[in-house]
Structure 1
Amino acid sequence: MPVYLHAVEMAVPETAYPQAVIRDILRAQPELDRLGQRLTTSIFNASAIDRRHSVVRDFLGGPQGGPALFYDPATGRMLKPGTGARNDFYTVHATELFVRAARRALEASPGLTAADISHVVTVSCTGFFAPGPDYAVVRALGLAPGVARFHVGFMGCYAAFPALKMAKAFCEADPAAVVPVVCASRGWSWSGPF
């Protein structure tokens, strides 16, 4: 039985940094010796990434409506927030992106409604919270309470592939299944073909 991809949508944070800005901030950290600085420069320059989207606004250099969590522009130093602070930040910002991406995908799928969704698969390699992003998507989109929810986490960016395989298996097992796969990952813009 064929399985169809109905829509591919994305939601990115408003903030985007030129690759060189992030490269230079990391290269300037005092913990790096000359080899570390050269490696940082080489890796960033060879990545073919022009800019990085981020929910972290600390690198903009001015006050952003609260104390900096990850980078202090006054000193040029990366900060070291604890796991709890990082995860709290992730929970707020990732939830909004998961929901926005899922909503866009549903809106871009002619003939499908929230009532058609049978499963939700979310993917993230960054943080965790419970109930998780799968639950947030179900609630925000007004999906049926019985929708099967799954979260694939801590596999890196590779996790999108097992999540897509999982969705395909659900659809092959049930021809009426409609399974959005919603991934939260680092964003980038490519320069040239990829």
Structure 2
Amino acid sequence: MVTLCKPAVAVPEYVITREETLDLARSRHADHPQLPLALRLIENTGVAQRHLVQPIEATLEHPGFQERNERYEIEAKARVPSVVQEALRNAELRPADIDMIVYVSCTGFMMPSLTAWLINTMGFPGNTRQLPIAQLGCAAGGAAVNRAHDFCLAYPDANVLIVSCEFCSLCYQPTDLDVGSLLCNGLFGDAVASAVVRGRGGTGIALERNTSYLVPDTEDWIAYSVRSTGFHFLLDKRVPTTMEPLAPALREIAGTHGWDADDLDFYLIHAGGPRILDDLSHFLEVPPDAFRFSRATLTEYGNIASAVVLDAARRFFDEGGLSEGARGIMAGFGPGITAEMCLGRWTRPPAPSLESDLNARRIIGHPPAARPAAVPAT
């Protein structure tokens, strides 16, 4: 049984509130003809605060793409390891137990990927598979879970580490003044998240089915324009309407599995904004509270891109999960427009019987059983 264990999530120490964001917009764009609209959109995001890797004064500067990307690498190497260590503890595993690392990020670029640095510095085996995903944006969190699921189905004794590192504030572009860009300046935040998918054992969400769906002819609705100054985020005003065509995709994966999408026990959904959650509630015919974990992420952290679904899952775990076998869905949405979706059930390993506990006590002091051989290269 392939199981997603409890994620670990960390946000940076610098905080900007919604009120501070609105004041900055008023002071920096006082003459903008659509400032009232931008302010209203920011107020309606539901974001109370966001976390940044730098003080706001440094965030608002633009020293150039090279320095921005260097800052991304510095911050990733400083912040990722502790989150990875927590995720491993949550899964009751060591670095030596990991067979593949899936690293997702759309806010900076490294080659080789941070996966190589993690393997060299944190004790992961030299034959650990590396799967960096850079161009799925916010959908990459769901894609990471799905690719880990696929790998563990192929290699049932394998374990996969997922790492999401998103420093959206390093993509701030002071010259982008369209309403969509001004809205994004008040929506996105920074975070690092990590989780382990175990091929066997573990407490968490037992993954059962996954799929992807691409909304036709929307590939330019969410995009990057890559220029000498870095990544310029392009957000079409039609993006909030995409839940109408995506809701049927969620219904289809549930229906194929014999479930009803409007009758599940938990929903861990990418919180791109409040309208996305409101529309999905409407089209799936589920109460707004069904998305309470995603709404909490949006309120406290903002849109943290690929880390959203992992943070929503972490909040689900913190609430205590549900009864054995409770059914749910995870979904991330991003450029394409792409949806990455999976179904799973809440599960806990069975409690040891008195006999097995006595047997375990008898063998205390014996060397541990050998771990299964490493996953063969393909």
Q: TM-score range by the shorter chain?
A: 0.7 to 0.9
Q: Which segment drifts farther, 87-96 or 167-176?
A: 87-96
1:81 alignment counterpart: 63
Q: Which of 51, 54, 62 is matched with 2:52 structurally? A: 54
Question: When the two structures are superposed, what TM-score results if normalisation uses the length of structure 2?
Answer: 0.43
Quote how far apart the aligned CAs of 1:26 are. 3.1
Quote how far apart the aligned CAs of 1:24 are. 2.3
**3-state SS in 1 of match to 2:112:** coil
Runs of 4+ in 1 over 4 A off after TM superposition: none
Quote how far apart the aligned CAs of 1:140 are. 3.0
Q: Which of 130, 135, 158 is matched with 2:111 structurally? A: 130
Alpha-carbon separation, structure 1, partners of 2:99 and 2:143: 18
Residue deviations 1:103-160, cap 9 Å, x none? 11012222x1111100001111101112222122223321111100111113221211
Quote how far apart the aligned CAs of 1:170 are. 0.6
1:175 alignment counterpart: 156
Q: Which of 106, 109, 125 is matched with 2:91 structurally? A: 109
Question: When the two structures are superposed, what TM-score results if normalisation uses the length of structure 1?
Answer: 0.80
Quote how far apart the aligned CAs of 1:96 are. 2.3
Alpha-carbon separation, structure 2, partners of 1:176 and 1:143: 16
1:13 alignment counterpart: 12
**3-state SS in 2 of match to 1:48:** coil
Q: Which segment drifts farther, 175-184 or 133-142?
A: 133-142
- Whether contact under 8 Å (2:96, 2:124) holds in the other structure is yes
Q: In structure 2, do the counterparts of structure 1 residues 179 and 34 end up closer, same or farther at CA, with 3 Å as the change threshold?
A: same
More strand by share: 2
Alpha-carbon separation, structure 2, partners of 1:170 and 1:125: 22
**3-state SS in 1 of match to 2:16:** strand
Which letter maps to 1:41?
L
Q: Which segment drifts farther, 148-157 or 25-34?
A: 25-34
- Whether contact under 8 Å (2:2, 2:149) holds in the other structure is yes
- Whether contact under 8 Å (2:102, 2:144) holds in the other structure is yes
Unaligned runs of 5+ in 1: 60-67, 72-78
Q: Which of 150, 158, 163 is matched with 2:139 structurally? A: 158
Quote how far apart the aligned CAs of 1:163 are. 1.4
Q: In structure 2, do the counterparts of structure 1 residues 162 and 93 end up closer, same or farther at CA, with 3 Å as the change threshold?
A: same
Q: In structure 2, do the counterparts of structure 1 residues 140 and 10 end up closer, same or farther at CA, with 3 Å as the change threshold?
A: farther
Alpha-carbon separation, structure 1, partners of 2:29 and 2:46: 26
**3-state SS in 2 of match to 1:122:** strand
Alpha-carbon separation, structure 1, partners of 2:116 and 2:65: 22
2:81 alignment counterpart: 99
Quote how far apart the aligned CAs of 1:31 are. 8.0
Identity of aligned residues (%): 27
Quote how far apart the aligned CAs of 1:181 are. 0.8
Alpha-carbon separation, structure 1, partners of 2:114 and 2:31: 36
Q: In structure 2, do the counterparts of structure 1 residues 103 and 80 end up closer, same or farther at CA, with 3 Å as the change threshold?
A: same
2:72 alignment counterpart: 90
Alpha-carbon separation, structure 2, partners of 1:97 and 1:43: 31
Alpha-carbon separation, structure 1, partners of 2:98 and 2:54: 32
Residue deviations 1:147-180, cap 9 Å, x none? 0011111322121111111111111100111101
1:148 alignment counterpart: 129
- Whether contact under 8 Å (1:102, 1:137) holds in the other structure is no
Alpha-carbon separation, structure 2, partners of 1:17 and 1:97: 19
2:316 alignment counterpart: none
Q: Which of 26, 31, 42 is matched with 2:40 structurally? A: 42
Residue deviations 1:73-125, cap 9 Å, x none? xxxxxx33311111011111122222222111012222x11111000011111
Q: In structure 2, do the counterparts of structure 1 residues 27 and 140 end up closer, same or farther at CA, with 3 Å as the change threshold?
A: farther
Q: In structure 2, do the counterparts of structure 1 residues 5 and 128 end up closer, same or farther at CA, with 3 Å as the change threshold?
A: same
Q: Which has the larger radius of gyration?
A: 2
